[in-house]
Amino acid sequence: MIKYKRQKKIGVIYLEDTLKPFSKLYDLTHRAEKVGISDEDILKEIEIEKIVPNKFQPRREFDETKIKELAESIKQNGLLQSITVRRLNDGYYELIAGERRLKALKYLNKATTNAIVKELNDEQMSTLALIENIQREELSPIEEANAYQKLININNITQEELAKSLGKTQSTVANKIRLLKLSPKVIKSIQNKKITERHGRAMVKLEHSVQEKILQQILRQNLNVSQTEETIENYLIIKNEKKSVE
């Protein structure tokens, strides 16, 4: 892995001035691997009612059964990994990582919990929260796609730079982000697991109105991915033939 010497001169310019934006993201990636305690962090007992949700949380769906299972585990074994927060005004804290754990604690009607308190600005906060969720591999394909796009926008980096910093291939990142070009109805079907991510990728090159027609055909005829790709290929052949006649 590339390491940078902060004070090495290049002419009259310090190397630190030429660092790519993703080098900062790379540092946060390593911090997110455990989202644990470092020298500058504080472990503090906090009232759960004073912890507000993370506005940068990429996950939108939580399995209630799994929350209850986690709650039972916490009841039996205690909280094995503290949640992570940052300090807000008026004695409140914003959650950085551990929303499932926080929901489980609320399910158990816990009044307080030990939490790791980090001092982060909005950019660091959003980046760390997104990376932490990506690394736990609990996101749906659409949630992951949104997380990648937000990281690119927040840190002003390319898909390739993001992929390098996360240890993923550029094609993995690109294929996920491409899903965001799908129509809202197709995206919802992926989120609801009515169709797969691969069904969605096959439809990306089509207009939204056509995507939705193909979607209905997939659901009506229970088409697998290969059958969907064949249906789309036939549609494009017919479309091109009509154009050539015109």
Q: Which amino acid is at 160?
A: E
Say how far apart CA 233 and CA 230 lie, in whole Å: 5
For 93, how many CA atoms within 13 A lie in the half-sphere containing its CB? 27
Look at residue 8 and tell me whether its pLDDT is greater than 60.
no
Q: What's residue 128's pLDDT?
A: 78
For 179, how many CA atoms within 13 A lie in the half-sphere containing its CB? 29
- Residues contacting 176, CB < 8 A, separation 6+: 141, 144, 145, 148
Q: What's residue 7's pLDDT?
A: 37
For 23, how many CA atoms within 13 A lie in the half-sphere containing its CB? 12
Say how far apart CA 220 and CA 55 lie, in whole Å: 37
Q: Which two tokens stand for residue 195?
A: 């169709």
Q: Give the 3-state secondary structure of residue 219.
A: helix
- Please name the helix (run of DSSP H) or strand (run of DSSP E) that holds residue 93, with its range, or none: strand 93-97
Look at residue 30 and tell me whether its pLDDT is greater than 80.
no
Kindly name the residue from 49, 69, 72, 99 that is annotated as catalytic: 99
What is the layout of strands, in order, in the sheet containing 112-118? 42-47, 112-118, 83-87, 93-97, 51-52
Say how far apart CA 135 and CA 242 lie, in whole Å: 47
Q: Which residues pair with 118 in a beta bridge?
A: 86
Q: How many CB atoms lie within 10 A of CB 135?
A: 15
- Residues 37-86 have pLDDT tens digits of 455 567 889 999 999 988 776 666 677 888 899 999 999 999 888 898 98
**Phi, psi of 36, deg, nearest 5:** -105, -165
Look at residue 105 and tell me whether its pLDDT is greater than 80.
yes
Look at residue 167 and tell me whether its pLDDT is greater than 60.
yes
Share of the chain above pLDDT 90, in %: 46
Look at residue 1 and tell me whether its pLDDT is greater than 90.
no
- Residues contacting 229, CB < 8 A, separation 6+: 202
Q: Is 40 a catalytic residue?
A: no
pTM, to two decimals: 0.65
Contact 215, 188 (CB under 8 A): no
Q: What's residue 19's pLDDT?
A: 40
pLDDT mean over 211-233: 96
Say how far apart CA 31 and CA 10 lie, in whole Å: 29
Contact 132, 90 (CB under 8 A): no
Contact 116, 35 (CB under 8 A): yes
Q: State how far Cα 3 lies from the chain centre.
A: 26
Look at residue 197 and tell me whether its pLDDT is greater than 90.
yes
Say how far apart CA 44 and CA 37 lie, in whole Å: 11
